[in-house]
Amino acid sequence: MPARCFCYLVSCACALAVLPQSAAAQWYLGLDVAWTSFGDASSDTSGTSSGVFRPAATTALGLRLERQWSGFGVAVGIRRMHPAMGEDSDVLLVAAKDQMRFTEVAPAVTLRIMRFAAGAALHLQAGPVIDIWEPMGLDARSHVGVSTGLTLVFPLVGRSSGAIRTMLAHSGSPFESADLPDRFAPHGMWRHSVSIGLDLRL
């Protein structure tokens, strides 16, 4: 993990730790498995091709630390994945594996917007997202974007609860101009993730 990613995590953790103390506040530590799909990360400036370059959909493990008050919370999550990179056209997908590592750091503010029977609740979350792309043999590239999503939390047993999360984010392209053929140019990229996880109240 690059040093800058570690610094981001330490900064977020310190920010959570210095928030005002309250008897009603609770700490939660979560682990999830996420499926992430990526939008176009480049465009054909010549207009002669329908192909685009993008990361392929992939799965990832994630960790999340959250501090909750009544109906409100702040959190930071991190996910690490190794998506294949390739060209996607109308008739063919060509992807190269093990060419790029991706780390996502996502601080967020959460707000409970609905309660259900049996203790389940729906939360809205939004915040910045920090993307760190590490091409094999090249320097890491980082981008700051925005994200928003919904989380359905439901009690399990004891101090544990289940969580189904969906997130939509927009950030910079993992590519630079030198990575692409001459007729392609990198541009901002959307991504969407769905995860299922386990949260433990500390």
Q: Please give the Cα distance from 134 to 39 (Å, whole number).
A: 19
Predicted confidence at residue 54, as pLDDT, reads 86
Q: Which stretches of the chain score pLDDT less than 70? A: 1-24, 47-50, 89-95
Task: Give residue 121's pLDDT.
Answer: 95
Provide the pLDDT for residue 90.
Answer: 61
Beta-carbon contacts of 17 under 8 Å, excluding residues fewer than 6 positions away, are none
Structure confidence at residue 10 (pLDDT):
47
What pLDDT shows up at residue 51? 73
Residue ranges and CATH numbers for the domains of the chain are 3-201 (2.40.160.20)
